[in-house]
Structure 1
């Protein structure tokens, strides 16, 4: 099976997700006056590495906001799974549930089947990060095929802060596709 991947500079696709309070939002749209958005896709509550990563993300959320970047996390979990997962999370940024398999494919994410019923009850995406700029364009893309491959958050914050600094005039990289 082949996967279609998004490319740097592409317009972020229309993906609607639901927050725990049942409000719906479109991913890739700036919120709270922050012009950029970092979308962290995680596997789901069954993944202890995801839980640790989401809690670590809370520690750098304000540094990202200082750089003009809002944060949201999303998975294919159900509302009930997210509510249960929240007991293990200590986060204040928005987390959405219900990312559909079709949306996972639209985002070019790798999708896995659960190894057994106790793991989870649905196919789920592997981790992904999409940083969308104020023009709705993909500025940074990081897609993994397993839970152990994720960006170092301190490096990510430093790099995105540098990219967002207007004096650096740093373009979207990786736009030459053959």
Structure 2
């Protein structure tokens, strides 16, 4: 069963292994006030690899508006290392996201279709923007690799939110 996070709620701070050593804390930025967390399906996903390549030239735009960007997947260290070797992302990479962590973040979880695809359940795409107070400011969760925010427009859209002190949306509980 899918369990979506509530916008404006405290983001469930989550610690994962970090490529290169140590840990990466989702929901606690290290280099900026805001953190953009991109969950990708794994090395097996060609759409994810393309998305990561599209992300790289936009990192300076995110940095200019005070957004730290991190990526994370359920891949083991070997696959995270191959992603870095083949596609050279410069963002911090988290790996070994557990099923319990995926569910806590409200992500959809899929089983591999074949052993050649991957060897473990993995998260479908997710995007979380965590504000300086540690609350979930914006969220986009998909149950398929084909539905994701357009990276070419995302920095400008987030900048609009920041520049205009745009409130967190989706909080009506009726």
What are the superposed Cα offsets for residues 9-63 of structure 1, whole Å, 9 maximum, x if unpaired? Answer: 010102101111121121111222x100000000000001100101111111110
Return the alpha-carbon distance in structure 1 between the equivalents of residues 165 and 73 of structure 2: 33
Return 99-108 or 153-162, whichever deviates more.
153-162
What are the superposed Cα offsets for residues 111-163 of structure 1, whole Å, 9 maximum, x if unpaired? Answer: 00000000000000000000000000000000000111010012211110111
**Is 1:17 the equivalent of 2:16?**
yes
**Is 1:110 the equivalent of 2:108?**
yes
Return the alpha-carbon distance in structure 2 between the equivalents of residues 128 and 47 of structure 1: 14
Return the alpha-carbon distance in structure 2 between the equivalents of residues 73 and 169 of structure 1: 26
Return the alpha-carbon distance in structure 2 between the equivalents of residues 150 and 39 of structure 1: 13
Return the alpha-carbon distance in structure 2 between the equivalents of residues 30 and 82 of structure 1: 20
**Is 1:177 the equivalent of 2:168?**
no
Alignment of 1:117-136 (within 5 A): 117-136=115-134
Q: Secondary structure at the match of 1:54?
A: helix
Partner of 1:4: 3
Q: CA RMSD in A?
A: 1.0
Return the alpha-carbon distance in structure 2 between the equivalents of residues 47 and 88 of structure 1: 13
Task: Check whether the contact 1:51–1:88 (CA below 8 A) recurs between aligned residues.
Answer: no
List structure 1 segments (4+ residues) > 3 angstroms apart after TM superposition: none
**TM value normalised by structure 2:** 0.97
Partner of 1:54: 52
Return the alpha-carbon distance in structure 2 between the equivalents of residues 29 and 112 of structure 1: 27
Q: Which runs of 5+ in 1 are unaligned?
A: none
**TM value normalised by structure 1:** 0.95
Return the alpha-carbon distance in structure 2 between the equivalents of residues 108 and 177 of structure 1: 18
Alignment of 1:64-103 (within 5 A): 64-103=62-101
Q: Which runs of 5+ in 2 are unaligned?
A: none
